[in-house]
Amino acid sequence: MLNKVEKTEQEWKAQLTPEQFKVTRKKGTERAFTGKYHDHKGKGIYKCVCCGTELFDSDTKFDSGTGWPSFFAPIAPDHVTEESDRTLFMVRTEVLCAGCGAHLGHVFNDGPKPTGQRYCMNSAALDFEAH
């Protein structure tokens, strides 16, 4: 079971860079091909930039060609939550950190085997810890 992290907007603003705050707390999206992890090849664990929850293992990362870091599965199903996102005149599935509710990105059903899923994440929402 994850410990829930709750902070005020001012506490998040003090902890995060403006880009991290915009993406994680205001449901923003970084521009394609601009994030530090879109082409990252290191071995390790991608964690939530807000609370440190382990989200994705580098072994599940793949090049989706979209310009954002993409993974075919979270490190554990209960480390992320999903919600319906009806912004931008379409229906998508938003992915949130289960530890703090940070917006991470979206998941799509066009990924590789074995899951067929593409967790399309924002680099600004992630920290990387090498093995």
In a domain, 90, yes or no: yes
DSSP 25-44: HH---PPTT-STTTT----E
Q: pLDDT at residue 6 above 90?
A: yes
Domain that holds residue 121: 17-28+35-130
CATH code: domain of residue 41: 2.170.150.20
Residue 120 annotated to the active site: yes
| pLDDT tens per residue across span 9-52 | 999 999 999 999 999 999 999 999 999 999 999 999 999 999 99
In a domain, 58, yes or no: yes
58 φ/ψ angles, rounded to the nearest 5 degrees: -60, -25
In a domain, 5, yes or no: no
| CA R_g for the chain | 14
Q: Which of 130, 121, 125 minimizes the C-alpha distance to 69?
A: 121
Share of the chain above pLDDT 70, in %: 99
65 sits in the region (left: phi over 0; alpha: psi -120 to 50; else beta) called left
Distance in angstroms (rounded) separating the CA atoms of residues 22 and 92: 19
Distance in angstroms (rounded) separating the CA atoms of residues 71 and 130: 17
pLDDT, residue 70, reads 98
In a domain, 43, yes or no: yes
In a domain, 101, yes or no: yes
Exposed e or buried b per residue across 89-99, where buried means at least 16 C-beta atoms within 10 angstroms of its C-beta: eeebebbbbbb
Domain count of the chain? 1
In a domain, 89, yes or no: yes
pLDDT, residue 72, reads 98
Distance in angstroms (rounded) separating the CA atoms of residues 25 and 20: 8
In a domain, 39, yes or no: yes
In a domain, 51, yes or no: yes
